[in-house]
Chains A and B, each alone.
Chain A
Amino acid sequence: MTAAHSQDRIELTREVIPHAAIAREVRANEDGAVATFDGCVRNHSHGRSTLYLEYEAYESMALAKMREIAEHLHGSFAINRVAIVHRLGRLEIGETSVFIAVSAAHRAAAFDACRNAIDTLKKTVPIWKKEFFADGAVWADGELPPAPAAAETPAAKPASN
């Protein structure tokens, strides 16, 4: 990681996400914009009233994938700092489950990078949500991450000597 990227904040937490503090942290004097995404727990799902949610993760892999997202943002958008924080465990209605903040000199890059981060997170980061209703619980429908179709074979690599 470069020095600039070491300012990024990539975390999984079981505590309430301090979103106001995170939005302040990503801001530096050279920035003209901070775009944030606050994903929060909705009180309904597919027409049923939700009581609460539980999130779990493949934590080591999820953190690695979240860091990859931040690296991709730095390589693709004219941005400064990135924060991606996801909460695990039981969450009540209205609480923040994921918070993303991106700072940049100009707003377009901040908006675009923030959108890219949440869209990619929902497709590739191994986190799962269980929805609890008055009459039972279900694992939320999700997205199957893209995986390689075939393993790389050593024979396919050019000989080095």
Chain B
Amino acid sequence: MVVKVLYFGRLKEIAGSSEESVEVREGERIEELFARCSSSRPELRKFRSSLVAARNREFAAWDTALSGGDEVGFLPPVSGG
């Protein structure tokens, strides 16, 4: 199954992309998806402890299991206002 992954702020620059479609296995967790996305991007991996994940526009725990078509955002600390 395929999920949509979104990167924002400095993560977008590190990932070199703002959006990608990623093939994942059934029931894959967000933690595993991030490991998959950062496996070829060591700079991205360093940010694991300073970002939060969102699934379908809601903050989500790292052990959240994914479904096909989910939209997953990796969000660095927010600085609006």
Contacts and interface: CB of A to CB of B under 8 A. Distances in A.
B79 A139 contact: yes
Which of B8, B60, B64, B65 has the most A CB atoms < 10 Å from its CB? Answer: B8
A126 B78 contact: yes
A90 interface: no
A122 B81 CA distance: 6
* Interface SS, A side: mixed
B57 interface: yes
Interface in B28-81: 29, 50-54, 57-61, 63-65, 73, 75-81
Given A58-B6, A128-B8, A147 B59 contact: yes
Contacts of A123: 78
B80 A58 contact: no
Contacts of A39: 81
Interface stretch (A21-29, A75-83, A103-111, A148-156): A148-156
Contacts of A122: 78-81
B61 A125 contact: no
A56 B9 contact: yes
Interface of A: 39, 55-58, 60-62, 64, 86, 97-98, 118, 121-130, 139-151
